[in-house]
Structure 1
Amino acid sequence: MGGNSPCASCKLLRRRCTKDCIFAPFFPSDDPQKFAIIHKVFGASNVSKMLQELPIHQRADAVSSLAYEASARLRDPVYGCVGAISYLQNQVSQLQMQLAVAQAEILCIQMQQEPTLPDHQAELDQRSAMDTNDIIPQFMNFASSSNVTQDPLKRESLWT
């Protein structure tokens, strides 16, 4: 920044902010926490090297990614953002399973509400409905025994 107020990184590092400070465009003085988190996880020297190796038009995205990863690492030092992604993927899988079960139940109800047909056709439909009724409990057993469940300790460490 050079002029009135040094950028957040130069303030934290207690150094003079120059015109060509690589941190100044991304760490304004009014948001010191952003750099503090990144500095704590990655170190100022490493961040500086990373930014210098990138084209100027990609640096803002890199700083945004570093800030996200750093805050995820502070919340969960072992898994970081990978833990959050894994948790969300498991949640999507569980919701897809619940959706499939609900769709199967809807199909069952629709089949049971069809108007009665001639005796022979009604008998075939009844067998088909019985097959469907056998499938749903099997599907429910599969859903409850599937390895989609999330370890409660991991879930707590991600969001606390």
Structure 2
Amino acid sequence: MPVTYADFADTRLTALLRYAVLLTGDPHLAQDLVQETMVRVQLNWRRVARADSPDRYVRRMLTNQYLDWQRGTWFKRVLLRADPGEPVVAATVDHAQNAADRDQIWGWLSRLPRRQRAALVLRFYEDLPDAEIAEVLGCAVGTVRASISRALATLRAELVEAS
């Protein structure tokens, strides 16, 4: 029995939202990203349902939407948070070291190029192998490995600099 759009949305929406939060670093922006992606999924549901893995197909749509968002003028007009190039001020709701460390890591991640950040999230959060990451990002496996390597090198340098 084929999966309907409603069934797919019911079962995968939460996971897609978590993935989008990790990509964007902002829960509200992530909701917008998932909403726009799911509208496109619904409009193209026949094609999505025919895919070998609808989940992977939609994850790629969401990733592409995230990578393309910054190019659009709508995103530039609506963005209401600090520019990632500006110094990141850690939100200190409590004074626990865990919260400070988490904020610092989010700041470092926000300064990574989008493709590198997406590759890290797909590798370490989604636990995908290089071949699947390459498929989601629409690039070669070597490009995935290079992106992850560069991202990790940047994060290591930030860690050494902060020490």
**Larger RCO of the pair (alpha carbons < 8 Å, separation 6+):** 2
| TM, length-normalised to structure 2 | 0.28
